[in-house]
Amino acid sequence: MKLLISPSNEAEAQEAVAGGADIIDVKNPQEGALGASYPWIIKQIRQNTPRGIEVSCTIGDVPNLPGSASLAALGAASLNVDYVKVGLYGLKTVPDAVFLLQQVCRAAKDYNPQVKVAVAGYADAQKIGSLNPLLIPEVVYKAEADIAMIDTAVKDGTNLFSHLTPNQLQLFVDSAHKFGLQTALAGSLRKQDLSVIYALGADIAGLRGAACTNSDRNKGHITQTLVTELCETLKQLQS
């Protein structure tokens, strides 16, 4: 399982790299769970991150606007990232989600056939009126994207396990793997949650708050020490 850490700037990215993160996932927490960062910040982080470490970026918690989403995906792919992530915030049906993602995948992969498209549904979908997250594997498969992900949209002190049970998450992971997809789980995860995420068989665990001072994803900042602790926890699980 890979450890994905989500910095918001170059200084945090350097801390995440020094701490041993597998994937540097550039985002802007001020714009939401998958808030999009600025192209120049993503470009700088990609240039300063060793090539052996993958870089991801988000294009936002998107509304049902396929044209806008596809244009954003092209912009993200042009920055030489390994992953383009999109959150299906404004999508309510499988057909709408599949159509939007088909445009996102076409835009990103026409520019760089090697880039992977990660698609996030939300564990707290009922709060925001979006697509049932357990349908994400089907959507990702039909759109020919690469990674099925679950996050939480509302950062209110609850986390992934406040909204979905381990059994539901196991169904999600198993369904995605049957489709030949990779899986990622996130959503205000804590260090102690990594053992459950690992046991579920997820391919990627995504964290920000747990790597930040005071566990505060908005006001805190990522430190090498906290990232190292997360990496050591994961290594112990894998040993």
Q: In this structure, what token pair is assigned to residue 88? A: 């299906």
Spatial separation of the C-alpha atoms in residues 6 and 165, rounded to whole Å: 24
User: Which secondary-structure segment (H or E) carries 122?
Assistant: strand 116-122
Is 77:53 a contact under the CB 8 Å cutoff?
no
End-to-end CA distance of the chain: give it in Å, rounded: 12
- For 212, the 3-state DSSP assignment is strand
User: Which secondary-structure segment (H or E) carries 55?
Assistant: strand 54-61
Q: Which residues have a catalytic role annotated?
A: 27, 85
Spatial separation of the C-alpha atoms in residues 8 and 28, rounded to whole Å: 5
Q: What is the DSSP letter of 32?
A: -
Is 39:77 a contact under the CB 8 Å cutoff?
no
